[in-house]
Amino acid sequence: MDRNDQWHELCVETYNRNRLPWLTTEAVLTETFYLVRRNLRDDRAVWVLLRSGAVRMSSISDEELPQIQALMAQYADRPMDFADATLVHVAARERLSAILTIDHADFETYRLPGRKKFTVLPHLPRRSPRSRTGSRL
């Protein structure tokens, strides 16, 4: 949402190139609104996405909570937070594998059923390999 954020342009491009709607969860929206709480323009932008239907909130029932708890226990070494666990759970339930996030490290670790990897978007630009000789001052 923050146009000055280093990820903004890449995320907008990725968002515009992919099929809508994107699914999210109440936990992720709670985090999002917390992060944009001090910027009224960003707050409005989140509401525009939600009200437009471009982002849909996926429900999680009480009966699904043990599965989310199990995911958090499985990835306790990361540690996996509740919001991430809800996204992994919904992706598995809905048979989705693409995720739009800047949290590449975690979502490249998390697995869907059958040990399937997420397609983490946006794709990061490739870094050039470091020189083996080092640098000179």
For 24-70, write each residue's pLDDT tens digit: 999 999 998 998 887 777 788 889 888 988 889 999 999 999 999 99
Q: What pLDDT score was predicted for residue 129?
A: 42
| CATH code (residue 77) | 3.40.50.1010
In a domain, 2, yes or no: no
In a domain, 137, yes or no: no
Q: What pLDDT score was predicted for residue 46?
A: 86
In a domain, 60, yes or no: yes
In a domain, 131, yes or no: no
Kindly indicate the confidence band of residue 130, based on its pLDDT and cuts at 50, 70 and 90: very low
Number of domains in the chain: 1
In a domain, 116, yes or no: yes
In a domain, 75, yes or no: yes
Residue range of the domain that includes 63: 8-121
In a domain, 126, yes or no: no
CA 50 to chain centroid:
16
Whole-structure pTM value? 0.77
Question: Are residues 22 and 46 in contact, defined by beta-carbon separation less than 8 angstroms?
Answer: no
CA 121 to CA 13: how far, in whole Å? 10
More confident residue, 62 or 17: 62
What b/e string do you get for 44-79 counting C-beta neighbours within 10 Å, with b at 16 or more?
A: eebeebbeeeebeebebeeeeeeebeebbeebeeee
